[in-house]
A = this chain, B = another copy of it.
Amino acid sequence: MCQLLGMNCNVPTDICFSFAGFQARGGATDVHADGWGIAFFEGRGVRVFLDPQPSASSPVAELVRSYPIRSLNVIAHIRKATQGQVTLDNTHPFQRELWGSYWIFAHNGNLLDYAPHFDGRFLPVGSTDSESAFCDLLQHLAAEFPDGPPPAEALFAALRRLAIRIGAHGPFNFLLSNGEYLFAHCSTKLTYIIRQAPFATAHLSDQDLSVDFSRLTTPADRVAVIATAPLTDNEVWHAIPPGTLLAFRHGAIETLGEATTIAGNPAAGAGSV
């Protein structure tokens, strides 16, 4: 299995602090040593850094950790291979273009007996179940909305249906972004935190590193961080209930349909941190 990290903000923010803890899990404090990757949306563009080496010892990860790239939407992944060899083409996150926007996808899980029929519009390049699921998702979105991006509510409803269908094959925790929304689907394990004023000091679980966010932010800033497991040990992270798709935008959870209202789970409300 793998680990996911996502960030969605209302002002461009760098992910250096969170990435430092996440990077350590790639071969140092945890076993996810089969490559890693990170994608930063900047305006309509996206930069994807990929490395089939363990993130804990990757020179590219060292650059990402020390070079602040400010972004509204970030998706990162460290891999413990279940299906597919440890090669660059099997390294998450994956990238495609749909409706004139880039889409980025990373998956934590393992899909069994899953062989989607592809019509050729989106084809996997590597051999992971994850890239197949991404192509399957995009193929169905393109077919359902051939004239361009639908309203956010319709997009959300379609993604939720697809997540349920594909998730029937096994754990299907994923992060997906088109640069505007960051969609987070919890199938078995995914947590999040929303940091906003008043900001405090956070301390990493995986390294003895703290940051005082109040010195780096303005009162209007809002940052959602989504991760397979909490990255800090002195903040309250919220477990996303299995079977839930959340849409993050501007650092908050946006209600785009029934599915975001999770009965009996106050943690799922926006601004609940």
**Which residues, 39 to 76 on A, are CB-close (under 8 Å) to B?**
42-52, 59-60, 63, 67
Q: Main SS of chain A's interface residues? A: mixed
Whether, in the assembled complex, A213 has its beta carbon less than 8 Å from a beta carbon of chain B, the answer is: no
Residue of B nearest to A63 (CB): B63
A243 at interface, CB cutoff 8 A: no
Q: Is the CB of A50 within 8 A of B47?
A: yes
Interface string of A113-140 (1 = CB under 8 A from B): 0000000111111100000000000000
Query: Complex Cα distance A120/B123, Å?
Result: 16
Residues of B within 8 A of A52 (CB): 42, 45
Chain B: minimal CB distance from A123 (Å): 4
Let me know if A88 is at the binding interface, CB within 8 A: yes
Q: Which residue of B lies closest to A44 (CB)?
A: B89
Q: Is A90 in contact with B45, judged by CB distance below 8 angstroms?
A: yes
Contacts of A49 in B (CB 8 A): 47, 49
A interface bracket (residues with beta carbon within 8 Å of B)? 35 or more
> Which chain B positions have C-beta within 8 A of A102?
125
| Residues of chain B lying within 8 A (CB to CB) of residue A99 | 120, 123
Cβ of A91 within 8 Å of any chain B Cβ, yes or no, is yes
A87 near B124: Cβ-Cβ < 8 Å:
no
Tell me the residues in window 232-256 of chain A with beta carbons closer than 8 Å to chain B beta carbons. Answer: none
Residue of B nearest to A66 (CB): B59
Which residues on B sit within 8 Å (CB–CB) of A148?
A: 120
Contact of A43 (CB < 8 Å), options: B67, B89, B124, B142: B89
In-complex Cβ contact of A47 among B44, B88, B142 (8 A)? B88
A42-B87, A60-B63, A99-B120 given; 4 more Cβ-contact pairs under 8 Å? A45-B52, A46-B88, A59-B63, A97-B122
Can you offer 15 A-B residue contacts whose CB atoms are under 8 A? A42-B52, A44-B88, A44-B89, A45-B50, A45-B90, A45-B91, A45-B125, A47-B88, A49-B49, A95-B95, A97-B122, A102-B125, A120-B142, A120-B146, A120-B148
Leading 8 A-B pairs by shortest Cβ distance? A45-B88, A45-B89, A100-B123, A44-B89, A42-B88, A59-B67, A63-B63, A47-B50
